[in-house]
A and B are shown apart, each in its own frame.
Chain A
């Protein structure tokens, strides 16, 4: 078995996008990186520069009978974006939104808790969210949220929460410290202006909110075009002859005789 290679995380990458580019399941890759797993906890936020060991592909053997058609199913891992959108700390509930990703327009309505949940096409890097009733137009960069323990990750979270207006550059500037103090005073924390433990925890609780009822959001409807996400993206049919190089994590045989 060939040894694995190391991949250096770039901005905009996340575990799923990296795994996808190596035709791997995210879990397979993540489990091969116990040190990073320990360090980052959350596989959805990696830091540019993090090194990820890509394990060598496993070989599966399949004996197929001749003169029969075989169907292989490539199991991919769907990713999604899920966000709660608020205005002045109140959820923007029941407003119609439009999300444009890769030129495709999805429209839907935010839930009572302001939730928007959309399956994400593989490789999508950014999208534009518009909520006309709330006068919101927001460019979303997917997979660009750095880990919480990094200044840049905390800056981006504080920006999302409406506290920080500076650059998300990892530089602990004056403005950054001011915003942090404001957040701390609003949430009854020790006003230190430093990214201390309790502040990190509060940021995590406020930004990466647990959401127990993910089916809350109405599924978005494809506004135009036949090939958008109304098909559940967890499995996609892949013609076997096109995928000599693909690693099939699961396969089925169908007898089409």
Chain B
């Protein structure tokens, strides 16, 4: 984890001044909410990386999302910033509950220096996919599916991720909508055909090819998308 250099403005004080400047350094965990790519109603697949709040609703108005963050007992309802970002103060090792869309997420700050597993490992890839909302969980099972074993769920998630992160201008709306069907494309010839269309016409995202789980491009895209 890179050390951040803070920049702070302070008063230069005359000697008789009786007061101080106060600098409080609070470790923040920055979390960015993004719309799920390809959501029905999203104008173009280009906007798939639009942030949650910046994505216009049907009326064109900004949508801010309410969330609560509980660690110290006080639970004020807050709203995401226009960037889709929230900053939650969290010392290393501390835990709190972030509630958004009625779902509570337990957030634990890793020890300073700790990071996700390397993206080149299946475990690290799964951690990032999970964080980005690609389901690895097998229905009916409690585990979130991050188990270091590349099974069909993992492969589907990877394919979905790769497909989602192919911003293409002018994609047919129907095709765009189909992209939000998860874990199907390997079985579904219609979606595979769409993918072919993207490959031929759209050019696709230069860094991502739906080529498997071991490409460096995939890993780079995952790191970029998950922010870690």
- Residues on the B chain within 8 Å of A186, using CB: 74
Mask of B57-99 contacts with A, CB within 8 angstroms, 1/0: 0000000000000000010101101110001010100000000
Alpha-carbon separation in the docked complex, A178 to B76 (Å): 12
Selected contact of B12 from candidates A79, A182, A212, CB within 8 Å: A79
Asked if B79 contacts A142 (CB within 8 A), the reply is no
Q: Is chain A's interface secondary structure helix, strand, loop, or mixed overall?
A: mixed
Alpha-carbon separation in the docked complex, A208 to B10 (Å): 10
Asked if A79 contacts B14 (CB within 8 A), the reply is yes
Selected contact of B20 from candidates A45, A115, A140, CB within 8 Å: A115
Q: Does B152 contact A (CB under 8 A)?
A: no
Alpha-carbon separation in the docked complex, A234 to B13 (Å): 14
Asked if B24 contacts A44 (CB within 8 A), the reply is no
- Residues on the A chain within 8 Å of B18, using CB: 210-212, 214
Alpha-carbon separation in the docked complex, A186 to B28 (Å): 16
Alpha-carbon separation in the docked complex, A80 to B22 (Å): 14
Q: B28 — nearest CB in chain A belongs to which residue?
A: A165
Mask of A139-174 contacts with B, CB within 8 angstroms, 1/0: 111111110000000001001111001001000001
- Residues on the A chain within 8 Å of B25, using CB: 85-88, 92, 134, 136, 138, 162
Asked if B3 contacts A135 (CB within 8 A), the reply is yes
Asked if B19 contacts A142 (CB within 8 A), the reply is no
Alpha-carbon separation in the docked complex, A60 to B227 (Å): 66
Question: Which of B22, B78, B79 has the most chain A CB atoms inside 10 A of its CB?
Answer: B22
Asked if B23 contacts A178 (CB within 8 A), the reply is no
Alpha-carbon separation in the docked complex, A210 to B4 (Å): 29
Alpha-carbon separation in the docked complex, A186 to B26 (Å): 14
Asked if A211 contacts B20 (CB within 8 A), the reply is yes
- Residues on the B chain within 8 Å of A115, using CB: 20
Q: What is the number of residues of chain B that contact chain A, defined by CB distance less than 8 Å? A: 36
- Residues on the A chain within 8 Å of B17, using CB: 44, 82
- Residues on the A chain within 8 Å of B15, using CB: 77-80, 234
Alpha-carbon separation in the docked complex, A143 to B14 (Å): 11
Mask of A191-222 contacts with B, CB within 8 angstroms, 1/0: 10000000000000011111110100000000
Q: B30 — nearest CB in chain A belongs to which residue?
A: A165
Question: Which of A78, A168, A178, A185 has the most chain B CB atoms inside 10 A of its CB?
Answer: A178
Pick out which of these stretches binds chain B: A14-22, A64-72, A237-245, A248-256.
A14-22
Asked if B12 contacts A88 (CB within 8 A), the reply is no
Alpha-carbon separation in the docked complex, A78 to B23 (Å): 23
- Residues on the A chain within 8 Å of B79, using CB: 178
Selected contact of A136 from candidates B6, B7, B74, B87, CB within 8 Å: B6
Asked if A14 contacts B7 (CB within 8 A), the reply is no
Q: Tell me the B1-57 residues at the A interface (CB within 8 Å).
A: 3-15, 17-28
- Residues on the B chain within 8 Å of A89, using CB: 24, 26
- Residues on the B chain within 8 Å of A56, using CB: none
- Residues on the A chain within 8 Å of B24, using CB: 85-89, 160-162
Alpha-carbon separation in the docked complex, A58 to B78 (Å): 58
A-B contacts, 14 of them at CB < 8 A, read A77-B15, A81-B13, A81-B21, A83-B10, A89-B24, A161-B22, A162-B26, A175-B82, A178-B78, A178-B81, A182-B78, A191-B76, A207-B21, A234-B15
Q: Which residues of B are in contact with A by a Cβ distance under 8 Å?
A: 3-15, 17-28, 74, 76, 78-79, 81-83, 87, 89, 91, 112
Q: Which residues of A are in contact with B by a Cβ distance under 8 Å?
A: 14-17, 26, 43-45, 77-89, 92, 115, 120, 134-146, 156, 159-162, 165, 168, 174-175, 178, 181-182, 185-186, 191, 206-212, 214, 234
Known: A77-B14, A206-B22. 4 other contacts (CB 8 A): A88-B26, A88-B89, A138-B5, A175-B83
